A = this chain, B = another copy of it.
Amino acid sequence: MKIELENVRPMDIEKRSFEIITQELKESGKEIDEKLAPIIKRVIHTTADFEFADLLAFSDDVVEKTMEAIKNGAIIVTDTKMAMAGINKKVIHKYGGDVYCFISDDDVAKEAKERGVTRASVSMEKAAKMGKDVIFAIGNAPTALVRLYEMINEGKVDPKLIIGVPVGFVNVVQSKELIMDTNVPYIIAKGRKGGSTIAACICNAILYMMDETRGM
């Protein structure tokens, strides 16, 4: 068996990948908004799944609004340790924000058990109680989105952005539709697909756009 490797320098792998993605998107005839392209392409880079070009949905001016929030010190709250681990913290730290995940906290686990709700749901309440500007990056738990939807309607939380990309089969599609039915800025992957890597990579796409030290 003869397997030919493409000779690309480590520092050029990401650039080359984005060239391939740009080329294949063009060949497929998909029109994508230039301002949203860095996000859409990075999600495809993270998944090798071009279907995301159709699945991703954005509220108006979401990139500008999110950048503004980060510049004003907004924090990011995720629903999984994996998503938290995948977010590049450099830019958010620069502006005084940070990345949090409360899913494994003892008090969250205890309260979730007592009330018969998910830890993800309680971890959203804990985030809301911080009294900070929050960008929610949800890659796993539809119950996190459902609880955010309820709290938005109850006036208990006013997210700067909801990245709603849980993956799965039970209430995932519906939970995303609920968020799109609010007035909160959102980036949603419609349908069943999503995941923690995607939640992290959407955060990174926006953070990288704000990082003047990055070449691309």
Contact = CB atoms under 8 A, between A and B. Distances in A.
A118 B8 CA distance: 11
Interface string A151-190: 0000000000000000111111011011001000000000
B169 A16 contact: yes
Interface residues of A, number: 49
A108 interface: no
A6 interface: yes
Interface of A: 1, 3-6, 8-10, 13, 16-17, 20-21, 45-49, 80-82, 84-86, 112, 116-118, 143, 146, 167-172, 174-175, 177-178, 181, 191-197, 200
23 contacts: A1-B181, A3-B178, A3-B181, A5-B171, A8-B170, A10-B112, A10-B117, A13-B118, A13-B168, A13-B170, A17-B168, A20-B170, A21-B169, A47-B193, A48-B169, A48-B192, A48-B194, A49-B193, A80-B85, A81-B85, A82-B86, A195-B197, A196-B197
